[in-house]
Structures are given as C-alpha cells and as structure tokens.
Amino acid sequence: MHKVLIANRGEIACRVIRACKELGLPSVAVYSDADAQSRHVWLADEAVRVGPAASAESYLSGPRILQAAKDTGATLIHPGYGFLSENASFREQCDAAGVTFVGPGSYAMRQMGIKTLARDTMKAAGVPVVPGSEGPLRDFAEAQRVCLEIGYPVMLKAAAGGGGRGIRLVQAEHELEAAFDGARREAAAWFSDPTVYIEKAIIRPRHIEIQVLADGHGNTVHLFDRECSVQRRNQKIIEESPAPGLSNQTRLAMGEVAVQAARAVQYVGAGTIEFLVDPDERFYFMEMNTRLQVEHPVTELVTGVDLVVEQLRIAMGQPMSVSQATLSQRGHAIECRVYAEDPSRGFLPSPGPLRVYRPPIGPGLRVDDGVVEGDVVSNHYDAMIAKLSAWAPDRPACIGRIRAALNTFEIGGIQHNIEHLLQVVGSERFIAGRYDTGIVGTLPPLHSEPEEDEFAEALAVLLHDRQRRQTVLTQPAADESTWARAARQAGLRTR
C-alpha cells in the first residue's frame, strides 16, 4: 500500500491531498513553523514539522523532507511546483532512499534545467528554437554574420546574465556595433564576464505552452495548449485554454513537437513545454517545466483529465489512463491568480491577516486555495492566495462567468489584485482574444482609491460610535451570549 508525502504547502498541497483522498491513498503533509495551523496540515491524514519558516530550512531541505518520509513510512513524494520540484539532486536522493519521487527522472530534469543544454538538446531533436548564435559570440564579425543569417530585430544577451540585465534590442544593422560594444561593457560590469550571444527578437510574442504526460510504459501524449500571455513582470496572472485565435493546425503541430521534446529526454510524468509564438504563429521552444504547473486546472477543465491522479498513477508504475486518440478539448477555461499585492502601489506584496475571505461558488467554477478566512498570508512564501478558474461551453460564456465570479469574491484585510484581474478580463483586447505578452502594459493604471460609499461610511461611524459609547443596544439571546462569552474567554470560538 502506498502513502504519499506532499513536499509543499498552500493550494497545491491541498490539491494533491484531495487527489490522494479520492484514490484512497493516505497522505502526509509537511509544514514549517509558519504553517503549523495551515489548511494543508489539517487536510492531510498526518502532518510532520520539517523546520522553521525560512524555506531553505524547511520546504527546500531535501534531507528533512526525506526524514519525514522515512518517519511516516511514505512511499511516494509529490513535490508540487516550486521548492524541490525541479531539483535533480533531490530526485536522486529519493531514489537512493528508496522513495518514489512523483516526477521525471533526474536525467530529464538536468537536461531541461540547464537552459543552454536544453536549447542544444531540443535543436538536436528537431524542436524549433529561437534562431541565434551557436553559443557565445567570438567577435563582432561573427555577430554581424549571425544577424545577417537570422534577420533583424535581434537581442544581444549576456551569457552570464539574468533578471533582464545586460540585454539590448537591436532593430537594424547600423545599431549593431554600438549595441555589441555596449552590451559587452554592461555584461562585464554586471556579471564580470563580457561574453554575449544573439537571439532573434520575437516582437509581440505570445506565450503558449503545451501540457504533456508520459508514463513508464512508453506512452507520451500532449493535452493541448494553454495561453499564458497575460503576465506582469514575467509573472503569469491569467491563463486560458484553448489559446484564443490559435489555428488548430498550429495547435496540433505544437502538440506533436512537445511530444517529440518530451521523448528526447525520456520524460516520464506531467510536464510542460513553453513556446514563444509570433504573430504569424511561428513557434519556438522556450523551456520545459519538468513538473506540474500552477495553471494545470485550465487543462483539466477542458480535457477532463485529472493530471494529479495521472501523475500518481504513473509514479506507482501504472500506465496513464488516456491516449492521444481519445483526448480532446471541450469548451473553454480561464484561470485567474489572486495575489496578495497592492495594484495601487506598484503591486507591492501585501502580506497580513486575511480578515475577510469567501471565494465565489457556482456551476462551472473551481477554486484552488490553501487558506481559510482568518489565516495570515505569510511574507515568507509566494503571494498567491487562490486560483479562481471558470469553465463554460464557449469563450464568451467563460468570460461572463469569470467576471461574475470575480465580482462576487469577498476578500479583505490585505490588498489584492482582483480589480486588476477584472480590468484585464474586461479589456477590449482580452475579450477580442487578440493579445500578446504586452497586454498588461497597455492597460491604464487603476485608481488608487475606491469610490466613496456612503453606506460604508455610515457603518464605520456607527460601529465606532457604539464601541465608544459601550452601550448595549441589542441584547443577544441570553443562552447564546453566556455560551459565547465562556467560549471566548476560553480562547475558543463557538461559531
């Protein structure tokens, strides 16, 4: 009999625990001190403390997670996303400890984890990558030659770079020399390494990804596409499936290429190939995420496949329960990520107590969350509070549904991005289904203050006045009151 340890927290831990319950598999939660009373802890059958609030000493600590698995007799470890999910060494430690890691082998994780290696591997496997120089540029002459080959515009990038630094966009040949010298100087200054390389600049790209699933019996399938172009500072905020306006021909071609990519690294489990897609629907491999994605619900909603259940089945050595021939997309799904951040102050993170929290319910809605009202959104971890997803028979109905749902989301105590989400899904471009990764930048800034609300003002004054006067205006029923008082004094709540 298997037992599953979930090496994660928050909504994804809850998601995996629910799948375990449905399969009849016992589940073990792990938690840091910051999460001792979190929802995933109480949802699981067992829970083990793995360290202090800091991730490095808890959720990111391979040895502690493995010890927890050993102590509870867990046979499977589901890493969720983030934390240890793409850590090839941890996967190897699991193997050595005789615990099954729910995910691909360390070979696939390494091949895809190192971005230049992934690019080379994909190129060799016939997967289209963004055209560019073969590794670092030796000199300006080579830069010129490569640019002639791939055509302008191009991006000059620092080989050792990251975080958007040391990058220059070059629109035409006459700009190249100055940009080349500048980029090298900048790279040297920032990263102590002047090496640069060239990639073709994709203008107004869309970010579309393909979900794949592979089992240990030689089956590899794709589960179609997800449109993830609604991003702010490279952070996805809204995803949908199918990608609006994408031709079916491109969709299937991307699916086939994704399967090819997965096979090239002997992939097993659920994974995602991310592509850049240009306005002419040419697509280029960007990277592969060798784990479950945050946005997996939209794929589940349109394909009807339970990706977590398939992951667990595959990890237990069973064949996947689907085949390419039977897979199809039905209707449309949109996911909105609700973050604890303040749109009126540049989307600053807004940790704090979630004093009001009631996500919407209704037909076709799905909420993935890991909090309850009264929880504190910790500043130690990701600022995502919940994922609100809607499914409907078609895209216009789906937009109607997600807008109605967002509008009835009750939340307070922290700042959040719901108004921003409403702004995006209500925007002309989004509704038309014609947008790229620039969509968020085209929207006007939100008003920093909510409209005046006379009733709210009256309520605030009344409550303040009543508190101040300490006058008993309405007596609660005697029995209830005595009981409530006793329970409150005992530090317990009765309702």
Return the active site residues. Answer: 291
Contacting residue, 413, 425, 430, 439, with another protein by CB under 8 A: 413
Structure tokens at 403: 């807008």
| Site for another protein contains 174 (CB under 8 A) | no
Minimum CB separation from another protein for residue 15, in Å? Answer: 18
Residues 442-471 binding another protein (CB under 8 A) are: 448-466, 468
Tell me phi and psi for residue 51, to 5 degrees.
Answer: 155, -175
Contacting residue, 169, 189, 404, 458, with a second copy by CB under 8 A: 404
| Site for another protein contains 494 (CB under 8 A) | yes
Question: Near a second copy by CB under 8 A, which window of 18-26, 73-81, 116-124, 146-154?
Answer: 18-26
Number of residues near a second copy (by CB under 8 A):
59
Contacting residue, 153, 244, 304, 438, with a second copy by CB under 8 A: 304
Q: What residues form DSSP beta bridges with 289?
A: 272
| Site for another protein contains 419 (CB under 8 A) | yes
Number of residues near another protein (by CB under 8 A):
68
- C-alpha to C-alpha distance for 431 and 412, rounded to whole angstroms: 28
Q: Which does 136 bind (CB under 5 to 8 A by kind): a second copy, another protein, none?
A: none
- C-alpha to C-alpha distance for 113 and 5, rounded to whole angstroms: 24
Minimum CB separation from a second copy for residue 41, in Å? Answer: 15
Residue number with CB closer to another protein (1 or 490) = 490
- C-alpha to C-alpha distance for 467 and 29, rounded to whole angstroms: 42
CA distances from 413 to 107, 354, 366, 373, 418 (A): 45, 5, 23, 10, 14
Q: Which does 252 bind (CB under 5 to 8 A by kind): a second copy, another protein, none?
A: none
Residue number with CB closer to a second copy (21 or 380) = 21
Name the site residues for a second copy (rule: CB under 8 A). 15, 18-19, 21-24, 297, 300, 304-306, 309, 321-322, 330-331, 355, 361-364, 366-368, 373-374, 392-394, 397, 400-401, 404, 407-408, 462-463, 466-468, 470-474, 476, 481-484, 486-492, 495
